């Protein structure tokens, strides 16, 4: 071989092969589930509900005290519920319900009395003008 031929020949590089990997066992993804959360049990206090109802009925009676046919029944029911709730130990809202119910009943009774006085005076004035 002459020199020229040697220069033209490129030495072959060794072929590199990756080593064979051992076969992996069949693997499945684990099934994840959302944890189940439950709301904590809140103890129900029926007497507290009575105090709340008493306060709401007292406020309704106070707002609608200009309508005695609505405010007096709401005031009486609110007063009774407030007394029951107060005996059970729920002082705050029960007291508010009792006070608003009493104030609404008193205002409604005063409005009824004023209306009766007004109507009777109008009727008397009508009688007075009819005679002349």
Asked if residues 66 and 99 have their Cβ atoms less than 8 Å apart, the reply is no
Report pLDDT for 33. Answer: 73
pLDDT band at 15 (very low <50, low <70, confident <90, very high): confident
Instruction: Tell me the pLDDT tens digit for each residue of 39-84.
Output: 777 666 666 789 999 999 999 999 998 888 899 999 999 999 999 9
pLDDT at 11 over 90: no
Report pLDDT for 8. Answer: 62
Tokens of 41: 């049990």
What pTM value is reported for the model?
A: 0.61
Distance of CA 131 to the CA centre of its chain: 64
Instruction: Tell me the pLDDT tens digit for each residue of 80-103.
Output: 999 999 998 878 889 999 999 999
**How far apart are the C-alpha atoms of 92 and 48, rounded to whole Å?**
10
pLDDT at 128 over 70: no
């Amino acid at each position: 071989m002459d020199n020229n031929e040697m220069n033209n020949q490129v030495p072959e590089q060794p072929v590199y092969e990756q080593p064979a990997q051992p076969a992996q066992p069949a693997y499945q993804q684990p099934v994840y589930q959302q944890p189940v959360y439950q709301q904590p049990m809140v103890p129900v206090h029926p007497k507290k509900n009575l105090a709340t109802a008493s306060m709401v009925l007292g406020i309704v009676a106070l707002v609608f005290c200009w309508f005695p046919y609505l405010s007096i029944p709401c005031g009486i029911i609110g007063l009774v519920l407030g007394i029951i709730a107060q005996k059970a130990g729920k002082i705050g809202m029960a007291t508010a319900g009792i006070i608003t119910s009493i104030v609404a009943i008193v205002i409604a009774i005063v409005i009824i009395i004023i209306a009766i006085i007004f109507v009777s005076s109008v009727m008397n004035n009508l009688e007075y003008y009819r005679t002349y």
